[in-house]
């Protein structure tokens, strides 16, 4: 192992890469990690020396506050390699801003954006061989921060650790999925932390999602916590409904995550002269649209899956099937997004960021 530094980051390189041990054709999403990781500790009121070191375990006190009070937030983003071997990130500025917005909501100190970008680009450059070219291949990047102070007093931690891990991945979902519309459980509530990528948001989804899976559904479309009248998100993704030729999606609020893929789909739709309505969408409205044939498509949008078509939904024990569309918006937007991400077309939005 040898050490060096960038302008701000201490670097410890792995003696030998583990990449030859990885079967890239049979990856399980998020189970394999690249050679290096980033970490930076917060203590005594400031962020300490940022470090990149070989991927490995960390040591925490069992009294670390993250275990007891759940102070933890994260991000999800990807690196892509084009056919010329160039490596690209997709809208990383949005992830940097959002992790700090999430941190503020959970009383976690913000992480300096300039160090975030230097850590991110340095880490990707060091492990660029883990970014495979080809359709469906990418390097999933997981920045996260959590409370490390030892103590079980119910108060915000005074110490934190910010980390970045990277995992080579293939497609998240294979094919279309079926969902159940929630009638009892909710993802978030007014005044809560739904707009933050808080770890606890996802933990709370697991039980109702397991119940849905026992019925044969892969995910849940969440509804509002007040009366379960309005459709909000699909599993861990934002959700879109195509009624005739208009795209509907729930507006951003303190319950709805400001998804990077979501806002990218909206921008693409507007560019392509497709009508978009960001408004509250009634469950009854979508059920009626399914019955009268005006509901053409439902799809989820998120970093892991990009666009995930939904071919059926269940509400009040009735399943509604959706026919495949020859002019599918889901197919269209997925192609347009992945073409930009993988440097296969022009990038009129300046979303692409080359790692050099």
> Could you write out the DSSP letters of every residue in 193-231?
STTS-BHHHHHHHHHHHHHHHHTT-SEEEEE-TTTS-EE
Q: Specify the pLDDT at position 101.
A: 98
pLDDT in tens, the chain (356 residues): 444 556 689 999 999 999 999 999 999 999 999 999 999 999 999 999 999 999 999 999 999 999 999 999 999 999 999 999 999 999 999 999 999 999 999 999 999 999 999 999 999 999 999 999 998 999 999 999 999 999 999 999 999 999 999 999 997 766 779 999 999 999 999 999 999 999 999 999 999 999 999 999 999 999 999 999 999 999 989 999 999 999 999 999 999 999 999 999 999 999 999 999 999 999 999 999 999 999 999 999 999 889 999 999 999 999 999 999 999 999 999 999 999 999 999 999 999 999 99
| Closest to 302 in 3D by CA, of 254, 329, 341, 263 | 263
Token pair listed for 300: 């989820």
Model pLDDT, residue 176 = 78
pTM: predicted TM-score of the whole model, two decimal places: 0.95
Length, in residues, of the chain: 356
DSSP 157: -
pLDDT at 303: 93
Q: Say how far apart CA 103 and CA 15 lie, in whole Å.
A: 34
Backbone φ and ψ for 233, nearest 5 degrees, come out as -135, 165
| Contact assessment for residue 319 and residue 261, using Cβ atoms and an 8 Å cutoff | no
Domain at 3-169: CATH architecture? 2-Layer Sandwich (3.30)
pLDDT at 117: 97
Domain spans of the chain, in order of start: 3-169, 177-341
> Which of the four CATH numbers 3.40.30.10, 3.30.70.360, 3.40.50.920, 3.20.10.10 does domain 177-341 have?
3.20.10.10
Fill in the DSSP letter of residue 133.
B
Interatomic CA distance for residues 241 and 234, integer angstroms: 11
Cα–Cα dist 162/69, whole Å: 17
């Amino acid at each position: 192992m040898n050490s060096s530094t960038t302008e701000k980051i201490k670097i410890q390189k792995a003696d030998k890469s583990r990449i030859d041990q990885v079967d890239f054709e049979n990856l399980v999403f998020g189970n394999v990690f690249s050679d290096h990781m980033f970490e930076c500790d917060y203590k005594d009121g400031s962020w300490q020396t940022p470090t990149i070191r070989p991927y490995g375990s960390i040591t925490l006190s069992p009294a670390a506050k993250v275990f007891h009070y759940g102070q933890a937030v994260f991000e999800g983003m990807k690196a892509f390699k084009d056919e010329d071997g160039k490596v690209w990130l997709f809208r990383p500025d949005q992830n940097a801003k959002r992790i700090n917005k999430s941190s503020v909501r959970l009383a976690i100190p913000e992480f300096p954006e300039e160090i975030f970008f230097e850590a991110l680009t340095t880490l990707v450059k060091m492990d660029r061989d883990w970014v495979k070219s080809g359709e469906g291949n990418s390097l999933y990047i997981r920045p996260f921060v959590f409370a490390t102070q030892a103590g079980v007093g119910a108060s915000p931690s005074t110490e934190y650790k910010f980390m970045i891990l990277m995992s080579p991945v293939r497609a998240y979902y294979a094919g279309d999925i079926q969902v159940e519309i929630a009638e009892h459980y909710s993802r978030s509530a007014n005044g809560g932390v739904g707009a933050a990528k808080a770890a606890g948001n996802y933990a709370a989804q697991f039980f109702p999602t397991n119940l849905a899976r026992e019925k044969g559904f892969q995910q849940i479309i969440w509804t509002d916590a007040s009366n379960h009248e309005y459709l909000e998100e699909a599993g861990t993704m934002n959700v879109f409904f195509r009624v005739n030729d208009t795209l509907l999606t729930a507006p951003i609020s303190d319950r709805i995550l400001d998804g990077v893929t979501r806002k990218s789909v909206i921008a693409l739709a507007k560019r392509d002269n497709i009508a978009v309505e960001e408004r509250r969408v009634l469950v009854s409205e979508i059920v009626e649209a399914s019955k009268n044939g005006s509901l053409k498509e439902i799809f989820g949008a998120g970093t892991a899956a990009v666009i995930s078509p939904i071919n059926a939904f269940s509400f009040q024990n009735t399943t509604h099937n959706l026919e495949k569309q020859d002019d599918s918006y889901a197919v269209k937007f997925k192609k347009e997004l992945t073409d930009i991400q993988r440097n296969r077309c022009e990038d009129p939005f300046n979303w692409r960021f080359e790692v050099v």
